[in-house]
Amino acid sequence: MMPTGPGVVACVCVGCLLFFGILSKFRPKSWEEDEFQFYIDKFNKSYVNETEYQQRFLAFKKSLEMIEIMNKNRTYQTSALYGVTAFSDMLQSEFEDLRLQKNYAERMALRQANNAGSNEKLHRFRRDFTDANLPRKIDWRTQGALTPVNNQHECGACWAFSAIETIEAAHWLRTGELRPLSTQQMIDCARNGNNGCRGGDICTLFEWLVDNDVAIRPADDYPLHLRDEQCKKLTSVGNATTASESKTDVRVTNFVCMDMIGKEDDLLAGIGRMGPVAVAVNAISWQNYLGGVIQHHCGSHPALMNHAVQIVGYDLEAEIPHYLVRNSWGEEFGHQGYLKIAIGGNLCGIVNEVAAVEVT
């Protein structure tokens, strides 16, 4: 007879391999579910039941797809790298609801309409802001000008964090003293359209602080609770320490708020001279940001603005010249809480709304 036996067996086996190979390739279970299990362990996630597990798994798979697309545009070793983060088990819409401020653009538009033509007194200040020789790189962190990275959790007060951080830095520049100031006071007390954990705007906050000559309390005196509470008037509270308390108040005496589209060189000069600035951004694509310089996938249209952060420096010597940006999503995010955004293209809308302050 013929030696067909082994031949047939071999054929069947190759067939089996092909068959199962194809099956497993098109069966989503294998590697994605493995990845998800790894993710659950790594980020210490727990889901209440199978329904939630499946929802999170679906969102996770969408994140994996997005990550793959976004990483395709990496052009340099130092380009932004995307991967799974603590937020990767959320749908983009959930991320937007929980971490971003959907109404930021509306608030910005309102302010711009209200403020049209009221900029005269800012002329001198603005000239200061943009008039300087340009160092090749600046990192205010290394100067000791900054407090530690904040974590806003699910309180939508990014606007208060970035504004207070910017006031702290301005106070440091003027006095040499780094004093943590109360973000909770802004959450509870700021008016002028600002609304605590439900949202606000850096520029209307600065306007409110100047117009009302608000004494900003030290963070210790008015601690962070990350929820909307009754505004506490602390200025005249206290007995033995009234005098020293009033000495520790910081006030914003002037501010500038403008778009710097096409004027990013001026912004760099401003950061060099006046220190960190508060800015509005579109942070939707930061959901899966691991690190590196963002050059793509970060729309700049004013209608997309949904978050506020702080620019704390820049680097023109880097392979991809970029801003150093402090976020308020804890130290686990990005580069120990910071991220890098390429200079020059209004990426993420980072120069749509730039604000700097003068303080006492």
Q: Measured from the CB of residue 344, what is the shortest distance to ligand NAG in angstroms?
A: 15
Q: Which is nearer to ligand NAG, 193 or 299 (CB)?
A: 299
Q: Does 48 bind ligand NAG (CB under 6 A)?
A: yes
Q: Are 278 and 306 in contact (CB under 8 A)?
A: no
- Which of 73, 93, 175, 235 binds ligand NAG (CB under 6 A)? It is 73
Written as one string, the DSSP assignment of 145-193 is --PPPPB-TT---HHHHHHHHHHHHHHHHHHS----B-HHHHHHH--TT
Q: Does 51 bind ligand NAG (CB under 6 A)?
A: yes
Q: Which is nearer to ligand NAG, 82 or 206 (CB)?
A: 82
- Which of 46, 133, 236, 244 binds ligand NAG (CB under 6 A)? It is 46
Q: Does 72 bind ligand NAG (CB under 6 A)?
A: yes
Q: Measured from the CB of residue 118, what is the shortest distance to ligand NAG in angstroms?
A: 37
Q: Are 354 and 260 in contact (CB under 8 A)?
A: yes
Q: Does 240 bind ligand NAG (CB under 6 A)?
A: yes
What token pair was written down for 120? 């005269």
How many Cα atoms within 13 Å fall on the side-chain side of residue 117?
A: 2
Q: Measured from the CB of residue 72, what is the shortest distance to ligand NAG in angstroms?
A: 5
Q: Does 52 bind ligand NAG (CB under 6 A)?
A: yes
Q: Does 113 bind ligand NAG (CB under 6 A)?
A: no
How many residues belong to the site for ligand NAG (CB under 6 A)?
A: 12
What token pair was written down for 220? 């210790």
Task: Decide: helix, strand or coil at residue 112.
Answer: helix
Residue for token digits 């098109």?
A: 26
Q: Does 77 bind ligand NAG (CB under 6 A)?
A: no
As a whole number of angstroms, the distance between CA 106 and CA 352 comes to 13
Q: Does 230 bind ligand NAG (CB under 6 A)?
A: no
Q: Which is nearer to ligand NAG, 297 or 335 (CB)?
A: 297
Q: Are 192 and 201 in contact (CB under 8 A)?
A: no
Q: Does 244 bind ligand NAG (CB under 6 A)?
A: no
As a whole number of angstroms, the distance between CA 298 and CA 319 comes to 19
Q: Does 116 bind ligand NAG (CB under 6 A)?
A: no
DSSP state letter for 218: B
DSSP state letter for 263: -
What token pair was written down for 144? 């000791």
Q: Does 68 bind ligand NAG (CB under 6 A)?
A: no
What is the contact surface with ligand NAG in residues (CB under 6 A)?
44, 46, 48-49, 51-52, 72-73, 239-240, 296-297
